[in-house]
Amino acid sequence: MKRTLVALAIAAAAASTHAAVERIEVTERAPFAPGVTFGEYGAYEKIRGVAYYALDPKAAANAAIVDLTRAPRDKKGRVLFSSEFVLLRPTGPQQTTLLYDVNNRGNIAILGQVNGRSPAQNDPTTAADAGDGFLMRHGFSLLFSAWTWDVAPTVPVAGTPTSRPLVFAPPIAKGVKGKVYNEFTVNTPTDIVTYAGMRGLTYEPATPNDPHAQLTQRPRPGDKRKPIPRSAWKFVAPELQGGPGRVQLEGGFQHDTIYEITYVAKDPYITGAGLAGIRDLLSYFRDHPFEGAPAPRNVLMFGISQSGRLIGRMMHDGLNVDEGGKLVFNGAYLQVPGAGGSAGFNSRFAQPTRHPSMLEEHDYPADAFPFTSAPARDPVTGQTASTLDKARDKQGNLPKLIVANTSTEFWNRGASLVGTTPDGERDVAPADNVRIYGFMGAQHYVGRSNKRAPFTACVSTSDHYLPMRALIVALDDWTVNGKQPPASAYPSLADGTLTTVADYRAIFPKGLGITPPEQNLREPRLNPGMVPPKRGEEYETRVPTPDADGNDRGGVRLVESQAPLGTHTGWNRRAPETGFAWATSRFDGSFVPFARTEAERIAAGDPRPSLETRYPTREDYAAAVRAAAERQIAAGLLLAEDLQRTMTTNLGLYDRIVAHNPADTDCGYLFGK
């Protein structure tokens, strides 16, 4: 089925005066999860289509889009492009909250983390793709669209339907040339390697096999680059058609080394158009009935990791306000964005998939001052600013925001900067329209690895997806009904729950078999006028303070921290055989269970009280979990409907730890594998 809907708002003149969506083409309409009804909201349907945009480069609302004035234009002087979208919504005529999920590297993210099931082939269709149906049972209409171009093709699997990532084809600044740099590492020695970012694409050389390209090596991010003779390496064709280029080195690439290849590229994508496309698609759906359903009662935005940072950049550039001067979303949830994402995504030769962590990619813009939602001063530049300085609509309104990080982002993504001055010397309370939360002891995503490699410890078992569910509902209530969400809960300097890495190492208990890193990520101030950019003074970042068990204090104390079975950290060191043993996993924390008995504890030299001391019986542990869960429910950080899942998950882990022989270093038992 394919048909075109000419923009329906001609009659609704005020809404369409500045509309940048010219038309919508519906390419597919079918039941979603056929045969399943989701509580009072009933059956759902899937609509797939294409939105066609026309941007005026002269409009003030588009002035922030880098290189838009260099894009080809139609006879009316407009820049034209399109993006595919997918909409899941109830089939009934009721008004719902439209929740836009910023896809992550082309992939739908919210269903996996919130509903518990990522859709097969990135194409939500079946009852299985709905997971436990949480978002549907709560009546959200879900919208996804293409916004980024740097999504690498995947190797097809025989007998499996082709995946359907959402990939954007942005306008191009034709004729523009400039240097591009690509950093990469390997975990094991290899002769040929891809030099693009994680699961991504990059700009390829303007001249094939560019003889003037440079390849360098260095042991650490801040060390001097050492050139590798051009005669010792060469470019190699992509593994897949349309995939990222590769490079081959005589003698092979070695672990423990950061490599970087630099060359001249041409015709940069106007990446900021992808952000404008999101803006204008939301503006359109906000104001228009669509395919028999009324306009939504509320519009929210949600993003995980890269996608959360993109929301931060949209607000930093004022791209959350449409050409008519109206907010395109009333509220947004930024999940694990680290320092917030006020850089990247909207610059010449931008590579959206790149972002710094303790080891990687310090020279790529992902975060830059300002970091806080309330004004703060950068003592190095003397500038005072906030992340929301350009985010107000023409009436002065701001969206309501939830920003949540895990312990891992304090080690690998500069998360302390969301709540402190850039020098790390004092706290900065969030603005009235913002709540910030720290999920202590959790890692970037809920861990499921059944082995230690390529790290030194088993990954964290904490589950922060359940409080995410509660906060999504709270954000909807806040923006629709004015009901206040839970108070911000974030580590701070004032109460001693935020500290230096040196202090953390001194406090962290010894005898657990793991040793804290010597550093966390300290992003440099970057001067983008050079390639690679010139580095300035580093921002001062802090980490959560550990308690006597090694569990992080402050922030949101998850059930796993209130009724602990062991130590959960936000860091997990790399195994020496993979190189960079001084660094940490980009996304993973650690878990070290308590000894089962006092005898085992003493034999192991473990300073932490054993399980039998803390919880003499299984019933005692169950009571501790229930009490912790009920406290979270009372605080608005857990939904009553998720109490039983919390009990089952934690008691299951307790049973597996008690049954596990500590001499067995495998990690699979933690996850029932």
pLDDT in tens, 69-115: 999 999 999 999 999 999 999 999 889 999 999 999 999 999 999 99
Beta bridge partners of 4: 25
Q: Locate tokens 């309330």: which residue? A: 374
Q: Which CA distances in Å does 538 have to 308, 356, 525, 627? A: 23, 13, 6, 43
What is the predicted pLDDT for the residue at 4? 52
Task: Establish whether the linkage from the previous residue to 370 is cis, with ω within 30° of 0.
Answer: yes
Task: Decide if 605 contacts 513 (C-beta within 8 A).
Answer: no
Residue whose C-alpha is closest to residue 247's, from 237, 255, 236: 236
Q: Is the pLDDT of residue 354 over 60?
A: yes
Q: Is the pLDDT of residue 8 over 70?
A: no
pLDDT in tens, 123-175: 999 999 999 999 999 999 999 999 999 999 988 877 788 899 999 999 999 99
Q: Cα–Cα distance between 316 and 401 in angstroms, integer?
A: 13
Indicate the DSSP class of residue 269.
B
Task: Decide if 391 contacts 398 (C-beta within 8 A).
Answer: yes
Per-residue pLDDT averaged across 57-80, rounded? 97
Burial (CB count within 10 angstroms: exposed 0-12, middle 13-18, buried 19+), residue 313: buried
Q: Cα–Cα distance between 133 and 139 in angstroms, integer?
A: 10
User: From its phi and psi, is residue 349 left (phi > 0), alpha (psi between -120 and 50) or beta?
Assistant: left
Q: Cα–Cα distance between 4 and 358 in angstroms, integer?
A: 48
Q: Which CA distances in Å does 591 have to 457, 569, 573, 588? A: 7, 7, 12, 10
3-state helix, strand, coil in the chain (%, to 5): 25, 25, 55
Per-residue pLDDT averaged across 269-287, rounded? 98
What is the predicted pLDDT for the residue at 485? 98
Greater pLDDT, 413 or 8: 413
pLDDT in tens, 525-566: 998 778 889 999 999 999 999 999 999 999 999 999 999 999
What is the predicted pLDDT for the residue at 499? 98
Q: Where along the chain do its domains lie? A: 177-266
Greater pLDDT, 388 or 673: 388
Residues in the chain: 673
Task: Decide if 283 contacts 7 (C-beta within 8 A).
Answer: no
Q: Is the pLDDT of residue 280 over 60?
A: yes
What is the predicted pLDDT for the residue at 2? 55
Is the Cα dihedral 464, 467, 473, 479 positive or negative? negative
Residue whose C-alpha is closest to residue 311's, from 605, 2, 156, 99: 99
Mean pLDDT score across all residues of the chain: 95
Percent of the chain whose pLDDT exceeds 70: 97
Per-residue pLDDT averaged across 289-314, rounded? 97
Q: Cα–Cα distance between 221 and 224 in angstroms, integer?
A: 8
* Structure token pair of residue 329: 């979303």
What is the predicted pLDDT for the residue at 516? 98
What is the predicted pLDDT for the residue at 10? 35
Residue whose C-alpha is closest to residue 354's, from 408, 294, 306: 306
* Structure token pair of residue 473: 């509902």
Q: Is the pLDDT of residue 402 over 90?
A: yes
What 3-state DSSP class applies to 433?
coil
Q: Cα–Cα distance between 50 and 146 in angstroms, integer?
A: 10
Q: Cα–Cα distance between 614 and 653 in angstroms, integer?
A: 16
Q: Cα–Cα distance between 621 and 643 in angstroms, integer?
A: 15
Q: Which amino acid is at 282?
A: L
Q: Is the pLDDT of residue 443 over 60?
A: yes
pLDDT in tens, 223-271: 999 999 999 999 999 999 999 999 999 999 999 999 999 999 999 999 9
Residue whose C-alpha is closest to residue 275's, from 47, 108, 64: 64
Contacts of 467 (CB under 8 A, 6+ apart): 404, 437, 439, 556, 558, 632, 637, 638
pLDDT in tens, 467-489: 999 999 999 999 999 999 999 99
What is the predicted pLDDT for the residue at 9? 37
pLDDT band for 213, please (50, 70, 90 cuts).
very high
pLDDT in tens, 602-620: 999 999 999 999 999 999 9
Greater pLDDT, 9 or 597: 597
Three-class SS of 273-321:
HHHHHHHHHHHHHHHCCECCECCCCEEEEEEECHHHHHHHHHHHCCCCE
Put simply, whether the predicted model's pTM sits higher than 0.75 gets the answer: yes
Give 65's Cβ-side CA count (13 Å radius): 31
Per-residue pLDDT averaged across 415-442, rounded? 98
Q: Is the pLDDT of residue 595 over 60?
A: yes
Task: Decide if 644 contacts 559 (C-beta within 8 A).
Answer: no
Q: Cα–Cα distance between 332 and 320 in angstroms, integer?
A: 10
Contacts of 136 (CB under 8 A, 6+ apart): 33, 38, 39, 41, 44, 88, 90, 115, 130
* Structure token pair of residue 60: 């003030």
